[in-house]
Amino acid sequence: MEHAGRRCDLRADPEAGRPSGGPHRRRGGRRPPGAGPRRRAPALATDAVTRSLRVLALDHSAAFGGGELALSRAIEAISPGEVSPRVLLFEHGPLVERLGAAGVPVEVLPLGRAGTVDRVRAGRAGMLVLVPSMAVFVLRLARRIRALRPDVVHTNTLKADLLGWAAARLARVPVVWWVHDRIADDYLPARTAWLFRWAATHLPDAVIANSEASAATLTNRRGARPPVAYPGFAAGQVRADALQRSEPIDPVVGLVGRISPTKGQVEFLDAAAVVRGRYPRARFVVAGAPLFGAEDYADRVRARVGELGLDEEVALTGHVDDVPALLDGLSVMVHASPVPEPFGQVVVEAMVRGVPVVATDAGGVPEILVDPDNGQALGELVAPGDARALAEGILRLLDDPLRAQAQAARAYRSVESRFAATQTARVLTDVWRGVARD
């Protein structure tokens, strides 16, 4: 969620914005990079440039997915008095409590039957069945937007993008999409990818991508890539003494992320079996729970542990609240996605704890693990979907502790200038203000 080259204090305390002011609008001003077609909206008053901007963020999920955590950290890092954020979720879940504890106004408007639409079922037949319930939800959401009178509606997931755009259009409020997915056929169903590429070009007032890899799959009407707001880390995630961390006596290798075929837990287990051959005392951690209908894959992961004879060596922890503490106990953190991921927040989370990283060389991950200033590797990049290559990357770090420590130290120093949530908040705020002024 950030631009390279800006520096920030790793230990700065991010602040949440405070509500203030009524809705004012003004016409004129430059449109931000990545802006889509102009949408009619009430004009801002003359003090809109300096007053607190009212932003309503929409997300269909209240689970701790990557996009939801990115949104929460960005909102919590907004400069006080600059933006008055409010979050509206389409379901109840742990994100409601997290945002409330951070002092962010949050509410739930249940999606109901329309919530059964997902990426896999987004074909024509499934959509037609659910059109009436989606239309009812859009009307309810539009009424709520009118009542809240935001200057900008910000949407954070593909489902929220489409439903939120329709509702905001009815409420005559400009919309910004923050896209956390690569809109490509190797990541989404082909029909869904085509539809969303078209929609991103024609519907929202501006689009923001979560990485250059995601931005490369999108264009605006002018044929330009959208700006990038990297998912950033919060100050509380940083380990101040990361460069002096002690290693476990026996190797502990972990993968952290929701249980999903796109996260590569099965490939990780296959690599673990290879690593165990050289390090019989090694232990392996798979941390995360299935979300978004991935329970069948979770069953496959559990079965694979038994098939490989790793019942004693592998811990399947389920959801973990204290991810920094878990990372602190690892010798190596593994990102094993077999498909090109849009970003890879857990890689950044490991970097700010000083943990060596092995990750698949695809999607947005190389943007994290290659230093943009000198091209140095900040971790081991391996071919995606190749368990043998994954094992070799892990073994390179376990066999050569000095190599692992050097990479982790470079990664820790590099991450400060590129991936802080305060930088994320700055990019988002700049786009929101540009759209509100338009």
* Same-domain status, 357 and 247: yes
Domain count, the chain: 2
Residue, of 320 and 25, whose pLDDT is higher: 320
- Encode burial over 9-21: b for 16+ CB neighbours within 10 A, e otherwise: ebeeebbbbeeee
69 plus 97 within the same structural domain: yes
Same domain membership, residue 216 and residue 327: no
pLDDT of 129 strictly over 50: yes
Q: 12 falls in which pLDDT band (50, 70, 90)?
A: very low
Look at phi and psi of residue 372 and say left if phi exceeds 0, alpha if psi is from -120 to 50, else beta: alpha
- For residues 81 and 383, the model is more confident at 383
Count the neighbouring beta carbons within 10 Å of the beta carbon of residue 205: 27
Q: Is 341 among the domain residues?
A: yes
Residue 135 lies in a domain: yes
Does 275 lie in the same domain as 201?
no
DSSP 341: -
Structure tokens at 434: 């540009």
- Rounded-to-integer distance, Cα 210 and Cα 59, Å: 15
> What is the predicted pLDDT for the residue at 220?
72
* Whether the model pTM is above 0.75: yes
Range of the domain at 276: 235-415
CATH of the domain at 181: 3.40.50.2000
313 with 200, same domain: the answer is no
Write the DSSP symbol of residue 304.
H
**Per-residue confidence band for 57, with pLDDT thresholds at 50, 70 and 90:** very high
In a domain, 44, yes or no: no
**C-alpha to C-alpha distance for 331 and 204, rounded to whole angstroms:** 44
Domain annotation covers residue 15: no
301 with 397, same domain?
A: yes
376 assigned to some structural domain: yes
Q: For residues 160 and 125, which has the higher predicted lDDT (pLDDT)?
A: 160
383 and 432 share a domain?
Answer: no
Mean pLDDT over the full length of the chain: 88
Shared domain for 129 and 145, answered yes or no, is yes
Q: Within this chain, do residues 174 and 262 fall inside the same structural domain, yes or no?
A: no
Residue 9 has pLDDT above 60, yes or no: no
The greatest distance separating any two alpha carbons of the chain, rounded to the nearest whole angstrom, comes to 69
Q: How many residues does the chain have?
A: 438
pLDDT digits (tens, 9 = 90+) for 85-125: 999 999 999 999 999 999 999 999 999 766 655 544 445 55
Q: Clarify whether residues 201 and 344 are in a common domain.
A: no
3-state helix, strand, coil in the chain (%, to 5): 40, 15, 45
Is the pLDDT at 34 greater than 50? The verdict is no
pLDDT of residue 117: 52
Q: Residue 41 domain-assigned?
A: no
Give tens-digit pLDDT for 377-418.
999 999 999 999 999 999 999 999 999 999 999 999 999 889
pLDDT of the residue at 237? 95
Q: Is the pLDDT of residue 175 over 70?
A: yes
pLDDT at 83 over 50: yes
Residues 171, 318, single domain; the answer is no
Tell me what percent of the residues of the chain surpass a pLDDT of 90.
77
Model confidence at 29: pLDDT above 50: no
Indicate the SS3 state at residue 231: coil
Over residues 39-56, the pLDDT tens digits come to: 444 444 345 456 799 999
346 in any annotated domain: yes
Residue 2 located in a structural domain: no
End-to-end, the C-alpha distance of the chain in Å comes to: 23
Averaged over 182-196, what is the pLDDT?
93
Angle of helix 421-437 relative to helix 66-76, nearest 10 degrees, comes to: 80
Write the pLDDT tens digit of every residue in 242-294: 989 988 899 999 999 999 999 999 999 999 999 999 999 999 999 999 987 88
Of the listed ranges 158-167, 223-232, 352-361, the least confidently predicted one is 223-232
C-alpha 145/C-alpha 63 separation (Å) is 23
Same domain, 366 and 247: yes
What's the pLDDT score for residue 148?
98
Integer Cα distance of 409 and 244 in angstroms: 10
